[in-house]
């Protein structure tokens, strides 16, 4: 009944710089024996999911609930089984490639935390060079696909967007204030939060994960067609118990001031193998009209 239509991956703008750097010759993809062990990867088969699009959406000049979009992963996706650990990250630090992380958990069997998106890019460069295999952060869509049942949709109800700014503010506030704080902020040993149905460890535990997806604000017309989009790649999507948007230089998320609720407890990351050369699109986004999914 409703025509689904294709939405070119809006993350394009955000992916471009990474894709370019991934092609840079210094990565030595053809180099001799790798000096660093490859991380353990889980290969996910192709498939499709529906999930709540990231970013903010406007229709007729008013904020609306982000639509549910169809995500098709049309090639296998190799994802790190666990988050990058302190031991993993320290190799990069000791090699002089990565900046040391701030004070905090230093036990080597814990996920590394206190890393910014920029830090993850340094690690990606180093790991890709040392292993001879290209890596990158997942996009938000890929993270949701990999996280499967561990992905949390905390969108506000549709009708709230028709109410006044005060009611909206209160609803957002109450949702955020009601978020369950991860019981303990201290990073736990790898595996503590168990595996999801894809065999991936610690998704949506107490360490949030950086993605490559830029913050975006998308304008739709009355019919639901996209008329404009602004991407801010200085802000990236962070995924975990809830979705968050974080400036790329932030290492430690925090609330405060007029914001309420619960910021990500820790910022860490896991990588995917970069199997497809730019500009190949790995998946297609379709905006699904409300009610048609």
Partner 1 sequence: MGQAFEIADGKVTISRRVALRGAALLAGALLAPASAWALDLPRHKVELVAPPFVHPHEQATKLGPRIMEFRLWVEEKTIVIDEEGTKLQAMTFNGSIPGPLLVVHEGDYVEVTLANPDTNVMTHNIDFHAAAGASGGADLTLINPGERAVLRWKATRTGVFAYHCIPGAMTPWHITSGMSGAVMVLPRDGLKDGAGRPLRYDRVYYIGETDYYVPRDEKGKFKHYDSHGDAYMDTMEVMRKLVPSHVVFNGAVGALTGRNAMPAKVGENVLIVHSQASRDTRPHLVGGFGDYVWETGKFSNPPETNLETWFIRGGSAGAALTKFLQPGIVGYVNHNMIEAFELGATAHFRVEGPWNDDLMTQVMAPGPIVSSAAHQ
Residues at the interface with partner 1 (CB under 8 A): 58, 61-63, 103, 164-167, 169-170, 173, 176-178, 181, 185, 217, 219, 228-230, 255-258, 260-261
Task: Please give the structure tokens belonging to residue 127.
Answer: 């790991």
CB of 168 to partner 1, least distance (A): 8
CB of 282 to partner 1, least distance (A): 27
- Comparing CA positions, the residue from 114, 107, 44 lying closest to residue 73 is 44
26 or 62: whose CB is closer to partner 1? 62
Q: What number of CA atoms fall less than 13 Å from residue 192's CA on the CB side? A: 16
CB of 178 to partner 1, least distance (A): 7
CB of 169 to partner 1, least distance (A): 4
- Dihedral pair phi/psi, residue 227, rounded to 5°: -110, -20
CB of 102 to partner 1, least distance (A): 8
61 or 279: whose CB is closer to partner 1? 61
Check: CB of residue 132 under 8 Å from CB of residue 31: yes
176 or 248: whose CB is closer to partner 1? 176
CB of 198 to partner 1, least distance (A): 31
Beta strands in the chain (DSSP E): 5-7, 41-44, 47-52, 56-59, 62-64, 68-73, 77-80, 135-136, 208-220, 226-239, 244-247, 267-268, 272-273, 283-287
CB of 211 to partner 1, least distance (A): 22
Sheet holding 5-7, edge to edge: 5-7, 283-287, 68-73, 47-52
30 or 61: whose CB is closer to partner 1? 61
Other CB atoms within 10 Å distance of the CB of residue 95: 13
43 or 185: whose CB is closer to partner 1? 185
CB of 162 to partner 1, least distance (A): 12
232 or 289: whose CB is closer to partner 1? 232
CA of residue 98 relative to chain centroid, distance: 21
Per the rule left: phi > 0, alpha: psi between -120 and 50, beta: everything else, 28 is left
- How far is it, in rounded angstroms, from Cα 120 to Cα 267? 10
Other CB atoms within 10 Å distance of the CB of residue 90: 16
181 or 223: whose CB is closer to partner 1? 181
Helix, strand or coil, per DSSP, at residue 94: helix
249 or 278: whose CB is closer to partner 1? 249
């Amino acid at each position: 009944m409703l025509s689904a239509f294709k939405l070119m991956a809006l993350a394009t703008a955000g992916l471009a710089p990474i894709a370019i750097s991934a092609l840079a010759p210094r990565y030595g993809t053809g180099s001799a024996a790798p000096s660093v062990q490859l991380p353990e990867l889980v290969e996910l088969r192709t498939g499709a999911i529906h999930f709540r699009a990231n970013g903010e959406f406007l229709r007729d000049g008013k904020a609306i609930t982000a639509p549910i979009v169809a995500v098709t992963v049309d090639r296998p996706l190799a994802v790190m089984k666990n988050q990058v650990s302190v031991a993993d990250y320290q190799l990069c630090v000791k090699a002089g490639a990565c900046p040391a992380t701030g004070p905090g958990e230093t036990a080597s069997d814990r996920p590394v935390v206190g890393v910014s998106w920029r830090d993850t890019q340094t690690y990606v460069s180093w790991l890709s060079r040392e292993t001879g295999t290209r890596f990158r952060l997942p996009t938000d869509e890929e993270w949701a696909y990999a996280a499967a049942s561990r992905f949390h949709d905390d969108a506000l109800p549709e009708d709230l967007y028709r109410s006044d700014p005060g009611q909206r503010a209160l609803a957002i506030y109450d949702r955020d204030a009601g978020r369950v704080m991860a019981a303990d902020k201290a990073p736990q040993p790898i595996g503590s939060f168990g595996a999801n149905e894809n065999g991936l460890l610690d998704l949506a535990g107490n360490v949030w994960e950086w993605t490559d997806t830029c913050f975006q604000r998308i304008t739709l017309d009355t019919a639901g067609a996209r008329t404009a989009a602004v991407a801010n790649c200085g802000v990236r999507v962070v995924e975990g118990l809830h979705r968050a948007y974080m400036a790329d230089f932030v290492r430690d998320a925090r609330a405060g001031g007029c914001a309420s609720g619960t910021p990500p407890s820790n910022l860490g990351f896991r990588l995917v193998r970069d199997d497809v050369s730019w500009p190949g699109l790995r998946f297609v986004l379709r905006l699904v009209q409300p009610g048609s999914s």
